[in-house]
């Protein structure tokens, strides 16, 4: 296989590029993932398997062989090339599929290495385009150095530079210690509920002298701590680095993931502090990134929208400062909601704070879990004002500042009705002004080039 | 801008048909069951509810409004739950015009705006077919000229 830099030149602009192949071990890694999921299924159903006959392993082996053959065929029919600012991928055995993806629409690039791929020195390249799950392009598997070279070439092209530009240097910002990751996961609200669950059922079992009470609760406990374990596995060794190509995140214990989020692709961020994290002053930073939305289905959890899984507030501000350049989120003057909002929201009304300056809109709320959400005006998708019957009686209104899909919601609850209307007008105006002055999509060029989305 | 009065006409027609059907069915069933008094009371209650809904439909119709402004489209509706949405033209991803069978009978359609946000809920019910087409084409053209990446 030729080197990626040659591949970038492969394929004349007019004709159909023939393109390169993925690594020949790709089917092995794909089938290996099937094996892992079979093994996981088996451990969950250990009791049933013990009573099953010889046919069960036979089915498993058969499924594995069929999977291997299918992946091998799929590999043989897949080719890719990079030409004319586009990625071309031809795939499909029976139904041929030809995709062309414009690189300037790139929202993020991930290099993912599952455990087996890591052992073989392979990696999968995931390109996230705006447009949800349909906009995701996977190139896997490639040799790790090839994947990295390809990423550098794609980022250079997306930035508006020549594809032979070497990879941009990076500067480390934050590294999360293993202790903080494990501690953070164990002190999360989710784990706390798990502990309470265990203690409650253990107490119930002891009080009633029936162990069945406790074993009945086990599946719930397993799923809660399975989720906690997943968080630890995915975030272990989290490092955040800054480069001219944007934020670079590396993390993962077994399956490692290296994410690159180019400048201007972060739509909104929030700083979250679960109840128990307060004693250590820890916070988490999440972000809305257009390409990452809608990938929940892949493994049931959205984990790649985390910019910092656990860190001090100073570290969080550092990361937020890089994700939204030129923004000082603590400089925004925040105002509370009118006291009459207590009739509508007796527990939370005094936690709502909101404010805006020329660059951002900023919202804080939360009694147990504190959330501080921030968004640049120019990233606003739409602005909504809603007034329910109870709110109308109290002359209150809620303003939603809509961002792309993701964990961050910017909602200004229960503002004074007149103020709410003024906020809507002001946000719309600032968004319009912001869009006119926005950063170019090709971040190394100076003019706002062809827009990513019409 | 107001939406077409045919929206109100359609909703009231649907209400009338449903109300009459429910009233007749209830009257027949209860009369067969042997209680004429209960049947009469039920029919009166059904008709009262229909009368109330008749007024509600009118008020809801009056609440609908939209405005094409310089850089954005503004849509407002709702009586009890009042809603106002402002969508900048540059943020529109696609514009849908749909018309169900009943809507088609009354010559109206529904226009929906989608942005990259799941929260944007910008619908305009009860546009005449001509107005829906005009608005769709205008929004598409404005969206193209003011398009602003993500």
Hey, how many other C-beta atoms are within 10 angstroms of the C-beta on A25? 17
Residue A311's pLDDT is 94
Percent pLDDT > 90 in chain A is 44
Q: Within a domain: residue A94?
A: no
Tokens of A252: 């993962």
Helix (H, G, I), strand (E, B) or coil at A416: strand
pLDDT digits (tens, 9 = 90+) for A410-446: 999 999 999 999 999 999 999 988 888 777 777 777 6
- Higher-confidence position of A290 and A346: A346
Alpha carbon of A239: minimum distance to chain B alpha carbons (Å): 27
Q: How far apart are CA A12 and CA A82, in angstroms?
A: 10
What letter does residue A45 receive in the DSSP assignment?
T
CA of A406 to nearest chain B CA: how many angstroms apart? 9
Is the domain of B114 the same as that of B70?
yes
CA distance A362 to A359: 10
Q: Which of B81, B85, B148 sits opposite A382 (nearest CB)?
A: B85
Note the pTM of the prediction, 2 decimals.
Answer: 0.85
Nearest residue to A277 (alpha-carbon basis) of A241, A313, A304: A313
Say yes or no: A290 and A394 in one domain.
Answer: yes
For residues B109 and B123, state if they share a domain.
yes
A243, exposed or middle or buried, with CB in 10 Å at 0-12, 13-18, 19+?
Answer: middle
When CB atoms are compared, the residue of B72, B121, B147 closest to A451 is B147
Closest residue in A to B116 (Cα) is A404
Assess A405–B contact: CB distance below 8 Å, yes or no: yes
Q: Would the CB atoms of B120 and A386 count as touching at under 8 Å?
A: no
Same-domain status, A387 and A271: yes
pLDDT confidence of residue A451: 43
The per-residue pLDDT of chain A, averaged, comes to 84
Q: Which two tokens stand for residue A274?
A: 């679960």
Range of the domain at A407: 264-436
Q: Are residues A336 and A410 in the same domain?
A: yes
pLDDT tens per residue, range B87-98: 999 888 888 999
Would you state the pLDDT for residue A58? 83
The answer to whether residue A35 is domain-embedded is no
Of A307, A321, A290, A1, the residue nearest A127 (C-alpha): A290
Chain B residues in contact with A400 (beta carbon < 8 A):
119
Strand segments (E) across A60-214: 79-83, 86-91, 97-102, 106-113, 122-129, 136-143, 171-175
Q: Least CB-CB distance to B72: which of A405, A428, A453? A: A428
A42 occurs within a structural domain: no
Which residues have C-beta within 8 Å of that of residue B35, sequence separation ≥ 6? none
Q: Within this chain, do residues B51 and B79 fall inside the same structural domain, yes or no? A: no
Tokens of residue A413, six digits: 């609850």
For residue A147, is pLDDT > 90? yes
Q: Is a pLDDT exceeding 90 seen at residue A343?
A: yes
Q: Do B149 and A404 touch (CB under 8 A)?
A: no
Out of B81, B84, B115, the one facing A381 most closely (by C-beta) is B115
Q: Do A384 and B83 touch (CB under 8 A)?
A: yes
A12-26, A365-379, A405-419, B126-140: least confident range? A12-26
- The C-alpha angle with vertex A204 and arms to A198 and A208, in degrees rounded to 5, equals 150
| B137 and B76 assigned to the same domain | yes
How far is it, in rounded angstroms, from Cα B30 to Cα B35? 6
Same domain, A425 and A317: yes
State whether B39 and B72 are in the same domain. no
CA distance A443 to chain B (A): 13
Would you list the DSSP string of B17-71?
Answer: HHHHHHHHHHHHHHHHHT-HHHHHHHHHHHHHHHHHHHHHHHHHHHH-EEEE-SS
Residue A447 domain-assigned (yes or no): no
- Which residues of chain A are within 8 Å of residue B65 when distances are taken between CB atoms? none
Question: Are B80 and B58 in the same domain?
Answer: no
The pLDDT value given to residue A132: 56
Residue found by looking up tokens 């229909």 in the block: B50
Q: Which residue of B has its CA nearest to A380?
A: B91
**Looking at beta carbons, which residues of chain B come within 8 Å of A290?**
116, 150
Give the CA angle between residues A246, A382, A158 to the nearest 5°.
Answer: 25
The reply to whether A273 and A324 lie within a common domain is yes
> A217 and A272, same structural domain?
no
pLDDT of B143 above 50: yes
What contacts 24+ positions apart, CB below 8 Å, involve A33-40? A33/A114, A33/A116, A34/A63, A34/A64, A34/A67, A35/A64, A36/A116, A38/A63, A38/A64
Question: Rounded CA gap, B70 and A431, in Å?
Answer: 13
- Total number of domains in chain B: 2
Residue B72 and residue A400: Cβ atoms within 8 Å?
no
Q: Does A395 touch chain B (CB under 8 A)?
A: no
Residue B50 sits in the same domain as residue B85? no
The alpha-carbon gap from B9 to the nearest alpha carbon of chain A, in Å, equals 26
Q: A305 in a domain, yes or no?
A: yes
A398 inside 8 A of chain B by CB: no
ipTM of this predicted complex?
A: 0.88
Whole-number Cα distances in Å, A34 to A39, A122, A234: 9, 17, 20
Strand pairing partners for A259? A110, A249
pLDDT surpassing 80 at residue A388: yes
Q: Are A335 and A415 in contact (CB under 8 A)?
A: no
pLDDT at A134: 66
Closest CA of chain A from B20, distance in Å? 31
Which of the four pLDDT bands, split at 50, 70 and 90, describes residue A211? confident
Asked if residue A121 belongs to a domain, the reply is no
Q: Could you tell me the pLDDT band of residue A447, with boundaries at 50, 70 and 90?
A: low
Same domain, A211 and A273: no
pLDDT bucket at B135, cuts 50 / 70 / 90:
very high
Q: Report the sign of the C-alpha dihedral through residues A260, A265, A270, A271, in that order.
A: positive
Please tell me the distance from the alpha carbon of residue A112 to that of residue A261, in angstroms, as a whole number.
Answer: 14
pLDDT recorded at residue A140: 79
Residue A228 and residue A276 in one domain: no
Q: b or e along A116-154 (b: 16 or more beta carbons within 10 Å of the residue's beta carbon)?
A: bbbebebbbbbbbbbbbeebbbebbbbbbebbbbbbbbb
Asked if residue A10 has pLDDT above 50, the reply is: no
Residue where one domain finishes, among candidates A188, A219, A235: A235
CA distance A402 to chain B (A): 6
Assigned domain for B1 exists: no
CA–CA separation, B83 and A382 (whole Å) = 13
Please enumerate in sequence order all residues whose Cβ is within 8 A of that of A85, keeping only pairs 6 or more positions apart, or say none: A102, A103, A104, A157
CA torsion A201→A203→A207→A208, rounded to 10°? 10
pLDDT at position A8 over 50: no
Whether residues B53 and B77 fall in one domain: no
Q: What is the pLDDT of residues A153-162, one digit of tens each?
A: 899 888 888 8
Number of H helices, E strands in chain A: 12, 20
Judge whether A241 lies within some domain.
no
Residues A276, A228 within the same domain: no
Range of the structural domain that residue B43 is part of: 6-62
**Residue B80: inside a domain:** yes
Query: Does the pLDDT of residue A291 top 90, yes or no?
Result: no
Q: What is the CATH number of the domain that holds B112?
A: 2.30.29
Residues B107 and B43 in one domain: no
In a domain, A398, yes or no: yes
Total domains in the fold of chain A: 2
| Residues A420 and A276 placed together within one structural domain of the fold | yes
Structure token pair of residue A141: 């598997």
Mean pLDDT rounded to a whole number for chain B: 90
Looking at B45, B62, B79, which one is the last position of a domain?
A: B62
Q: Are residues B54 and B30 in the same domain?
A: yes
Q: Are residues A283 and A429 in the same domain?
A: yes
- Name the residue in chain B with its Cα closest to that of A410: B119
Cβ <8 Å between B150 and A379: yes
More confidently predicted of B3 and A304 = B3
My answer on whether A223 and A291 are in the same domain is no
What is the sign, positive or negative, of the torsion defined by CA atoms of A439, A259, A224, A220? positive
Q: Indicate the pLDDT class of residue A2, thresholds 50, 70 and 90.
A: very low
**Residues B75, B57 share a domain:** no
Using CB atoms, pick whichever of B87, B91, B150 lies closest to residue A130.
B150
């Amino acid at each position: 296989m030729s080197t990626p830099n040659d591949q970038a030149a492969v394929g004349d602009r007019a004709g159909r590029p023939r393109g390169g192949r993925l690594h020949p071990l790709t089917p092995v890694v794909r089938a290996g993932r099937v094996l892992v999921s079979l093994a996981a299924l088996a451990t969950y159903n250990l009791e049933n398997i013990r009573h099953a006959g010889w046919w069960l392993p036979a089915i498993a082996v058969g499924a594995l062989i069929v999977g291997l053959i299918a992946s091998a065929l799929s590999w043989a029919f897949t080719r890719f090339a990079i030409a004319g600012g586009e990625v071309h991928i031809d795939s499909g055995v029976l139904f041929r599929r030809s995709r062309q993806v414009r690189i300037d629409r790139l929202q993020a690039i991930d290099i993912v290495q599952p455990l087996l791929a890591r052992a073989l020195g392979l990696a999968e390249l995931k390109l996230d385009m705006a447009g949800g799950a349909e906009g995701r392009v996977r190139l896997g598997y490639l040799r790790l150095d090839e994947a990295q070279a390809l990423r550098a070439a794609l980022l250079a092209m997306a930035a508006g530079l020549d594809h032979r530009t070497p990879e941009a240097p990076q500067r480390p910002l934050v590294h999360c210690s293993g202790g903080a990751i494990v501690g953070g996961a164990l002190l999360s609200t989710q784990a706390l509920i798990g502990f309470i669950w265990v203690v409650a059922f253990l107490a119930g079992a002891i009080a009633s002298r029936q162990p069945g009470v406790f074993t009945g609760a086990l599946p719930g406990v397993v799923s809660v701590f399975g989720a906690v374990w997943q968080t630890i596995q995915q975030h272990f060794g989290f490092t955040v680095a800054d480069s001219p190509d944007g934020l670079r995140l590396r993390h993962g214990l077994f399956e490692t993931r290296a994410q690159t989020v180019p400048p201007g692709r972060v739509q909104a961020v929030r700083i979250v502090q679960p109840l128990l994290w307060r004693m250590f002053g820890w916070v988490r930073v999440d972000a809305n990134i257009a390409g990452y939305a809608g990938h929940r289905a892949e493994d049931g959890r959205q984990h790649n929208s985390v910019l910092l899984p656990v860190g001090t507030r100073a570290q969080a501000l550092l990361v937020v400062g890089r994700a939204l350049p030129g923004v000082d989120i603590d400089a925004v003057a925040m105002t509370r909601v009118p006291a009459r909002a207590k009739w509508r929201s007796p527990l939370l009304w005094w936690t709502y704070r909101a404010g805006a300056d020329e660059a951002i809109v900023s919202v804080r709320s939360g009694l147990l879990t504190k959330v501080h959400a921030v968004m640049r005006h120019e990233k606003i998708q739409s602005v909504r004002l809603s007034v329910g019957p109870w709110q109308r009686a109290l002359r209150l209104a809620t303003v939603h500042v809509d961002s792309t899909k993701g964990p961050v919601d910017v909602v200004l609850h229960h503002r004074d009705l007149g103020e709410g209307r003024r906020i809507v007008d002001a946000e719309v105006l600032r968004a319009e002004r912001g869009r006119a002055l926005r950063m170019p999509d090709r971040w190394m060029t100076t003019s706002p080039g062809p827009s990513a989305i019409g | 801008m107001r939406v077409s009065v045919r929206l109100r006409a359609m909703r009231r027609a649907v209400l009338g048909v449903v109300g009459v059907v429910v009233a007749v069915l209830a009257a027949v069933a209860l009369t067969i069951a042997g209680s004429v008094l209960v049947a009469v009371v039920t029919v009166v209650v059904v008709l009262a509810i229909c009368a109330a809904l008749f007024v509600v439909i009118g008020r809801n119709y009056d609440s609908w409004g939209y405005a094409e402004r310089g850089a954005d489209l503004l849509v407002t509706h709702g009586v009890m739950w009042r809603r106002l949405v402002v969508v900048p033209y540059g943020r529109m991803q696609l514009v849908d015009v749909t018309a169900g069978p009943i809507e088609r009978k009354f010559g109206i359609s529904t226009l929906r705006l989608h942005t990259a946000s799941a929260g944007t809920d910008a619908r305009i019910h009860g546009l005449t077919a001509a107005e829906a087409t005009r608005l769709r084409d205008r929004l598409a053209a404005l969206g193209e000229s003011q398009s602003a990446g993500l």
